[in-house]
Structure 1
Amino acid sequence: MRAMVLEEYGAGYQFVEHDIVLPVPGPGEVRIKVAGSSFNPIDNKITQLGGELAFAPDLPAVLGMDVSGTVEAVGAGVTRFRVGDPVFGCAGGIKGIPGALAEYMVADQWLIAPAPQTMDLVDAAALPLVVLTAWLGLFDKAAIRRGQMLLVHGGAGGVGHMAVQLGVHIGAEVFATVSSPDKAAVVEALGGTPVYYRESAVAEYVAECTGGDGFDVIFDTVGGNVLDQSFAAAALGGQVISTATRSSHDLSLMHARSLSLHVVFMLLPMITGQGRELHGEVLTNMSALVDEGALAVLIDEQVFSFRDIAEAHRYWKGGSALGKILLTVSD
């Protein structure tokens, strides 16, 4: 089969097309004829940092975490899928598990789920990583409830726009920071209230949105100073969720307000093999939400072939993308 193989880590994006051996599904695994994948910032981090990340694959490597496609073969003990089933998931592209930038991919049956019936199969590849991350933060970690006030930092981003929709769906009052009118329009279309981000304006938007009380739940998808600002924007006893905590912070404000900090590292079940069943269950439920019209994914207008993965990385680095960047694999 044809695959895009990363031959060298670094900013040069050394992906080369190769003919490699067709993978055979082992016990509990399926082989997927890949229709699509999508770009995630973690893909860029792996590509550039390589061995600095413990979960980065050994070279040469086939990356691509998100996948959509059709089950083409099943291994022993597979009970969830049959040949011909359309599926999607976040199932590879890390150490020991080749990814979706290939014509075929082997995946653990618990890392994938039935693809939404109302969505183009290629487009479904834009969902898994971001919706899993948003769901795990809001429900598995913070147990958000109807009527709570939710602030999402980076509300038009990949994880952010999923968190906005899931918050609206559960009945929370949702606000989201944005940096441009286009991104504000995205948040409004999804049922949230946009808040224009300015580092000096935390007290101002807390006063305007919450009467000065602060937000019950804050989802930080940015990290750095934004995590510190999340502590400042939280209500007494509030909960802060973050996907970016590889940094040092002063926790004195967190202590003074009796806050809870929840860290989401969505890749952990894929890395460790533990807890994969939850991912399959969540994706199954999210697929149903898509079919009910309660969840949608924003897809950038620029779509790339998997053979153009290096260009997709450069496009994302340029900062002009609005929505998930799709990669088509099936010809």
Structure 2
Amino acid sequence: MNHTMLAAIAESAQTPLALRHIPSPSPAKGRVLVKVHAAGVNPLDVKIAAGAAAHARQALPAVLGLDLAGTVVESGEAVNDFSPGDEVFGMAGGIGGAQGAMAEYIAVDARLLALKPRTSDMREAAALPLAFITAWEGLVDRANVRAGQRVLVHGGAGGVGHVAVQLAKAQGADVYATGSADSLDFIRSLGATAIDYQLESPDDYIERHTAGEGFDIVYDTVGGSTLDASFKAVKAYSGHVVSCLGWGRHSLAPLSFKGATYSGVFTLMPLLTGKGRGHHGAILRAAAALVDAGRLKIRVDRHPYQLHEVNEAFRQVEEGRGKGKTVISMPADRSAAPQ
């Protein structure tokens, strides 16, 4: 293997990422060396590059990128679950001082990985980890979603939202999802009842779809005033609100007067603290099983960005122009060069 590799580096906040040759990593105990084939671009990656994500604890300069799919090249000591040649995926770096996925190689804690879905290509697999883990931690770990429940997903066409819709459906729930007018057909294609939040108030859709009772689970993937609307939309006593963007200041009175419950989801914790990493691997194994069973499909933007187009890919995410998850493919050889 080469002793250097090509990587996209955020050298300082609010400046374009630079392609640089840097030393290749080696797998320490409990880690595997992965040749990266594809890296997902998340809004969090864009925020880190802008210097606007202190909670991610990623000081610059740094190689960014949380999500990856690739092939195991070498296993470190005490790794028994993966062998060279295995195709894997995971949310494995790019925060907390760890090298990210936007490089030819990455050394990853093996607990954070799972075997790639057999029916997915590398780009699809790289688009899945953060979105699926976030959806699973909210719906399954926190809210215990199950058959017969009415589940409302706010932002049902978004990155986490469209995965949450499919996961709730796979668990047997009756799923509803909010979106703007141009996203309603996509939401319906996922098997959910689509709600145009610009035309219907919470009172309207609560009455229309639950006869005024409220939803058993409400998953907020939008934050802000949408979380307040979630407190209003949830069922009394047994209802559960989950949010992956519950970072603002909100009145809990509407929730408290209903006797309902709330859970926050902070998917980065295992990467930042080292605790619970094995659970992330288990969640991804469940994701792969759902994909291979035809019950989960990740929406990937069709533009085939290459590593030398990393700044264009970041701009697409920042401006919200992508139709699905933006994914960057790694160079197959050293012919790639900055443009």
Same-fold status (TM-score > 0.5): yes
2:25 is the alignment partner of 1:23? yes
- Residue identity opposite 2:17 in structure 1: F
Could you say which residue in structure 2 is the equivalent of 1:43?
A: 45
Question: Residue type matched to 1:233 in 2?
Answer: A
| Cα pair distance change 1:132/1:288, threshold 3 Å | same
Aligned counterpart, 2:205: 205
What's the TM-score once normalised by structure 1's chain length?
Answer: 0.96
Return the alpha-carbon distance in structure 2 between the equivalents of residues 57 and 214 of structure 1: 40
Superposed CA deviations along residues 113-147 of structure 1, whole A, max 9, x for unmatched, are 00011111232100000001001100100111110
1:200 Cα deviation (Å)? 6.5
Which secondary structure does the structure 1 equivalent of 2:201 belong to? helix
For the Cα contact (< 8 Å) 1:34–1:330, is it kept in 2?
no
Q: Report 1:222-237 matches (<5 A).
A: 222-237=222-237
Q: Is the 8 A contact 2:305 2:327 kept in 1?
A: yes
- 1:7 has 2:38 as partner: no
In 1, Cα distance between the equivalents of 2:231 and 2:312?
Answer: 37
Q: CA deviation at 1:188?
A: 1.2
Query: Deviation of residue 151 (structure 1)?
Result: 0.3
* TM-aligned CA deviation for residue 199 of structure 1: 8.0
Q: TM-score, normalised by structure 2?
A: 0.94
Instruction: Please list the CA deviations of residues 293-321 of structure 1 after superposition, one character each: whole Å capped at 9, or x if unmatched.
Output: 11110111223112222211211222232
Distance (Å, rounded) in 2 between the aligned partners of 1:75 and 1:44: 31
1:49-73, CA deviations, whole angstroms, 9 ceiling, x for partnerless residues? Answer: 35x5143322210000000000001
Equivalence for 2:114: 113
**Between Structure 1 and Structure 2, how many residues are aligned?**
327
| CA–CA distance in structure 1, aligned partners of residues 47 and 122 of structure 2 | 26
- Written as runs of structure 1 = structure 2, the 5 A alignment for 1:40-189 is 40-50=42-52, 53-181=54-182, 183-189=183-189
2:288 — aligned with what? 287
Runs of 4+ in 1 over 3 A off after TM superposition: none
The two structures, once aligned, show a CA RMSD in angstroms of: 1.3
Q: Is the 8 Å Cα contact of residues 69 and 122 (structure 1) preserved in structure 2?
A: no
CA contact 2:307–2:331 (8 Å) conserved in 1: no
Match of 1:256 in 2: 257
Q: Distance in 2 between matches of 1:25 and 1:128?
A: 21
Match for 1:72: what amino acid?
A: V
Q: Which residue of 1 aligns with 2:270?
A: 269
Residues 180 and 302 of structure 1: is their aligned pair in 2 closer, same or farther, counting only changes over 3 Å? farther
Question: Contact (CA 8 Å) 1:71, 1:87: kept in 2 or not?
Answer: yes
Q: SS of 1:78's equivalent?
A: coil
Q: Structure 1: which 5+ residue stretches go unaligned?
A: none
